[in-house]
Amino acid sequence: MEFVKMHGLGNDFIVIDNLQGKWGSDLLQGLAPRLCERCFGVGADGLVILFASRPASFGMQIFNADGSEAEMCGNAIRCLAKYVWERGLTREQDFTFETLGGIKQVSLQLRGESVEAVQVDMGKPMLESTAIPLAGPARRALNERIVVDDEELEFTAVNMGNPHCVIFVPSLAGIPWQSWGPKLENDPLFPRKTNVEFVEVIDAGEVRMKVWERGAGPTLACGTGACAVVVAGVMTGRLANAVRVNLPGGALEIVWEQGQSVSMQGPAEEVFTGRIALDNI
């Protein structure tokens, strides 16, 4: 099985071209934990599959490092957009991907024939608890309280095609976010688990964040998470409509006006190509 290793701001993926339908979804999902394991496999935060789509230009399927399937991934979609352009699979600079989180529009920014950055229309955020989903009565969870390790935290819940729990903190320094992350991911309040973002506001136009990704753990970047942070910040009066989100792996530019789609812009990089001996996996 041939693959390409790519990353978006250090959030790394094994990309498999399955346009011809050679590999079954069950096989790929079963392979994901072993291929993503960093000592005995290729090593990645997730396995990303390119497939043929009828409602969109291409299809994208994502399996997390634990084998669970994700609805959407902002860093992965930028990687896949770069992949299809630079391999000549499209000559359009604006095209679409079918995902479990809906059909997403991408726009390429080119330098010569290379993709320098990708802008993604991430769709409209969902704030209703039934769409996230959250347990309990129907509501919008804005500045809601949750307890972890006897600490009472304030969170805002957002669905960006996948669920997010955004927690604003005075400072990222010293907080036990890698201990809180898995407990919040698996809290009964989130029936389908959740991604968790910890955010320090620099000013209305810039934040720092760290992320605990559902099914992957701590990663260097999360595109949908950056979008959720800006939505939560706008909804709670902390942030402006255009925000630079600084992640451990780099920065994303996020723009959101209430009632509109969220726009995300950032880079994607190809690292290497290889072949997997399936008998050894």
Alpha-carbon gap, residue 225 to 221, rounded angstroms: 8
Is 222 marked active-site?
yes
pLDDT digits (tens, 9 = 90+) for 100-151: 999 999 999 999 999 999 999 999 999 999 999 999 999 999 999 999 999 9
Which of these is catalytic: 36, 79, 165, 222?
A: 222
Alpha-carbon gap, residue 92 to 98, rounded angstroms: 16
Q: How confident is the model at residue 103, as a pLDDT?
A: 97
Q: How confident is the model at residue 280, as a pLDDT?
A: 78
Task: Please tell me the pTM assigned to this model.
Answer: 0.94
Q: How confident is the model at residue 114, as a pLDDT?
A: 96
Token reading at 143: 């500045």
Which of these is catalytic: 36, 73, 165, 227?
A: 73
Token reading at 271: 């690292």
In the block, residue with structure tokens 């990663």: 219
Is 165 marked active-site?
no
**Amino acid making up residue 246:** N
In the block, residue with structure tokens 């006897």: 150
Which domains occur in the chain, in start order? 2-121+267-280 (3.10.310.10), 144-260 (3.10.310.10)
Sites in the chain below the pLDDT cut of 50: none
Alpha-carbon gap, residue 59 to 97, rounded angstroms: 5
